[in-house]
Structures are given as C-alpha cells and as structure tokens.
Structure 1
Amino acid sequence: MNPFASALLAWFDHHGRKDLPWQHPRDAYRVWLSEVMLQQTQVTTVIPYFLRFIEALPTLRDLAAADEDRVLALWSGLGYYRRARFLHRAAQQCVQQHGGELPRDFDALAALPGIGRSTAGAILAQAHGLRFPILDGNVKRVLTRFHGIHGHPGQSAVEKVLWQHADAHTPSKRAADYTQAIMDLGASLCARSRPQCEACPLAADCIAYRDDLTAQLPTPKASKAIPTRATVMLILRDAHGRILLERRGPQGVWSGLWSLPEAADHDDAWRTAQRLAQIDDAQALAPFMHVFSHYRLHVEPLLFDEAAAHRAIADNPSLRWCDSVEIAALGLPAPVRSLLLAPFSRESTRKST
C-alpha cells in the first residue's frame, strides 16, 4: 500500500466517521443516495434529509415507483433540484434495464443520469469494496494542497492531473475505508478555511503546508459580480385557506417545482392576480432576499386574501389550489415553503396600493 493511503487509513482508524446513517447498512442504494445529497451540501445538513428520504423510499424500486412530486417534496430544502430528478430518472432506468439494482459495471453505472465518474467510483468502492478513485470537492482540496497544484480545480487540465493523483493514491485493499477517509479529511482537517495542518496525517509531505500555501490552494475560481433580480410573489388564499400554486416550467431555477405565481412589479402582480382569481385588496408582506450561486433574488410577497377561483383556470394542470397538507406533500422551493409556513394575517401586514 502506498504511503499516502497508509497514513490516511491509520488516521481514519482513530478519527474517521464510521457511524453515518448510510454506512449501516452500506448498500449501493443508500451510498448512492448519500453521495448525490452530499454534492455541494454538508454532512450535518444531509443527515436528516437522508433519514426522511430513506424512511419514505427505502429501496431503489420504491424510488422508481414514486411520482416526481413526492420525490421533490422529500428533497425540498436541499436545493439543486436537478439532482433529485436525475436520481429519480436513474432509478427508473435501473428498473427498466438493470433488474431493479444499480449496476456493478463501472461504465453502466457512470452512464446513469446524474452519476458520472466520481459518484460511480464512490458507490463501487463503498458498497462493494472495489478499487475506484473518486474526485469530489473535498478530495480535490486534499490533493491540490498535498501536491501543490495551482489552477482552478474545475479546469479540465487541472482536473486531469487530479484524477491521475487520485488513481495513484487509491489502494487495492480497504477501498471503502480509504474512500471515506479522504472525504473525511477534506471535510475536517483539510477544510477550506483554517485547515488544521498540524494534526493532518499527510502534513509531512504536503507541499501547501511546507510552502505556506494553504490559503492560496485550491486556486479559487475567478469571481464575478453577482447581480440582483426582483420578483413579486402572489399568495392567493381562498376562503378555505387554500393557496394557489403554479408549477414552474422546464427551464430556469426551480424548474418543475410547485411555487407561487410571480410578477415583474406591483402593477403586473395585480393584472396577474385578476387573471387568476376574483380579488379585493392586497397586503404586502415583508420582502426577503434569496441567494443563488449566480444571482440574488429580491422577493416581495403580496397576499390576496379571500380570493375566489376563476373557472377558467380549473382545467389548467399547471395551477392548483392546495391546503396545508397538500402543500407539505409537494416539492416547493425552500424559500417558498418557508414563506407559506410563516404566520401572515391582516394584523401583521399592511395594505398595498
């Protein structure tokens, strides 16, 4: 076994995470689900979502058979909803093409929607103990610092070099433990900021530590100014307390999720509300900001109480009146769900003119 892997596994035996919920049992479905959830999301955030998801859909066949709204509802709050759609689609392909199981063949597994090379390697290494390298964000950070590699890790040339190092360090034995160990190291001691280099098992040979480059590596992506966009969200609530929801189109953020009707400004909001329902007045709720990776969204919610549905929208499958129980069962963007869970009333709002 190479010195890198030996040092890392010795550290893992004493300090690694061995009680994560997807490790007991560590089957392919649970590993896959955790790996997808962990993309751009921390372990502490993922654990409650994983437990809720696996309780509702304990097997791959359960996931494949579920409707998309249920899958998105279970995912709601994790963000990056395309991950959930790929997960659902891949499960259906496994039922159709692979006997209801994730394939053990690397090429077949990596070809499934949303999986790719690193996730396929993680599944095969952790669920089956097979020797396949991985290269998620934590691993990129460890290898970039250890080998002193400059350049943004997302660049194809840099990533190619990182894959070569990842493959060279991956041992033939204890592949599952090694895979967990290098992810754990990147998530803990080799964190993005304030890494604990003195406690790192790789510090003796780490170029970034030797040359005092841990603050510079990995090389950050060139930053761009994040623009701010504005929208008005319409909360149309009828006499029964139901809210009018609209399924978003296939493009853009929150694609395919149920959300609130939106308008460009207050005048447009009134026109849209009058098209959707019979309304009287509106109450402006507290505005808020939601931050995406590429822009900020300034949201002004308008509450139209005692709205009466127009018959003209009854046959529109993209519109539906939902009570609180129905809303809880649908996939909604996290800020919209939070908005609808907030107590709003005439006493806590002001009229909008």
Structure 2
Amino acid sequence: MDLFTQDSGTYQVLYSVGKGFFYFFPIILGYTSAKKFGCNEFIGIAIGASLCYPNMVNSNPSMVGATARTLGYVFQGTPFEMAYSMTFLGIPIIMPASGYTSSVVPIILAVWVASKIEKPLRKNIPAMIRFFTVPLVTLVISVPLTYLVIGPIASILTSLVTLMFNTLYGIPQVGGLITGTVLGALWQVLVIFGLHWALVPITLANLATQGYDLILAPQFCCTFGQIAVVLAISIKTKDQSLKDMCLPAFITGLFGTTEPAIYGVTLPRRKPFVISCIAGAIGGAFIGATGTTMFSMGYSGVIGFASFIDTIGSTGLRSVLTAAIGCVIAMVIGFAATMATYKDNVPEPAPAAA
C-alpha cells in the first residue's frame, strides 16, 4: 500500500502541517503588519484572507496549471504580457503568476495603504457609527487597490526577474557562472517576495522541450547554505530558546523546507541571512559554471538530488556529483562564516538611576 504517494490522504494530512501555515501567510502577516502600522488587526486579517480566497486564487490565468478562462491580455507583445480572467469596474485584475498565497510583500504594502486610509477615517467619523463604518470603507478601498495596483506591480517585477535570468544565461561562455552566482545570491530573497515562481515556467518549458534544465539548478545549494548557518548558530548561541528553534529548522531545511530557518532564525538576525546568501552565491557559481543539469522538477533538500540523475542521456550521475559539490561548498562557507562572526544579541544595560 502506497501510504506516501502525493495523492494519498496520509501524505496530504502530513503535508498540510508543513505547508498550510505558509500558504495562508498573508493572513498572519495581515495581522502582524496591522499591529506594526497602527491599523485595526481585523482589517489586516481581512485583507490577507481576501488574497487567499479560493475564487480569487483560481481566477489567475497566469498561474502554472491554471484553468481560468482568459478574457484578455495587458502589455501584449512585450516581455511583460499578462492575461486576466476578470475585471473590477472594467479594470483588468492581473496578478503575479504565483498568485498571493505564501507571498510577503503584497500584503505588507496593502496593510500599509489600509492604515493610511483608516487613520483619518477613525479620527473624523462620529463615534456612534465608527465601529462598522471605518472597517467597511477601509476594506472597500484598500482591497481593490491591492488587486488593481499592487498586483500589477508584483506581476511586472516577476516578469523582470524572468527577463533578467534569461538574459544572463544567454551571455556566451560565462552565462552559467554569472547566472549561478546571481541566482544563488538572490534565491532566498526571491522566495521571501514570492518572485521565485517567475523562474518555474522557464524550467517547466525547458523540461518539456529539451528534457532538462540548467537555469534553476544553481538555487539547489541555497537550502544547504541556509541550514549550515542555522547549525552554526545552534552551536554558538547560549540562548536556549534559540537553540530549541534551530534544531527543528535544521531538520526541516535538510528535507527542503527552509521557511522556519529563514523566518524564524536567520532573517530576523540579518547578518546570518546575508551569510547564507553569500554561501548560496558561491555554491551556485560552481553549479552554474559546471553546467549542472536538472532532469525533473523535484523537491529541495537531500531528496532533491534525484532531480539531477540523467534519465535521457549518457551523463549518468555527473550532475548529482557536481550538485553535491556545490552544496558542500555552500555549507562550508555558510558554517565557517557564521561560526566566525555570530554573537548573541546582548541587551544594553539599563541606565543607572540618577
């Protein structure tokens, strides 16, 4: 009996634990962003929920595997061409190819805009009707703005990412090296902004037409650079709560899920996150320069090495070996640099009483 096939209930239940939180990340960020910007938390939650609403998610014709009927295109004939399947008051609703689930920046910008709308309303609307009027007016304005303004901006940024990496890889002789360095350095940043999905259609197209892909391969080592940094922090820190956070983040990262490591450990401390990006850049440069090739779309982490097995040609395990070397390079650099530089944040002593 196949308990862990992707279609099995066992797989789906366990997978929901790891991915459910991050799928609905806009809702959590809606709450935390509202607190930060001094906005009503339930307004932030409502905006985040609107970005995860299934009907809106499924209306995105640019998403990989989408079934939404396309009504038209914007920027047709340019690298920024995008399709849309519905309009708001006649204005096309265009979204990033990846949509808004698991994204970070769109909801933060949306709540910031909402806070600028809510504060003057809260100040000027009479108290007797403020309770229901302020959230209503704020949401009626901010949610359409999110879809009509922030969405197109995110879509354009996604297209720019695709164009940039296609151009870099097309540079003769050194295209692989440059692409590997840039992709390795920026991959985790792209993941945070949700822009990494811009490269997935390129990879899928290459796999469909050629049977292999070179462009996305360098990002594979970023996971290992990240978890090496987390391991070093776990060894050096004297903060027991941080140690307790590092171990599960390391284990989940080892199997390809780096969000706990990024959001829980390295990104809040800044320098370790920068070190992980540098480690990814150097490991990615090696992978790109050696022409390491992916032959299927697979998961990250240790089980992702299967994606580099050549099933169509005669290179066999060559790409598995070069991918492994790139990962080791990223891990050594990330671990060594963190061990050499990491220090716990020590709170400044309170000023002495006069």
Q: Same fold (TM over 0.5)?
A: no
Give the TM-score, by structure 1 length: 0.22
Give the TM-score, by structure 2 length: 0.22
Select the structure of larger CA radius of gyration: 1
- Which structure carries more strand by proportion? 1
- Which structure carries more helix by proportion? 2
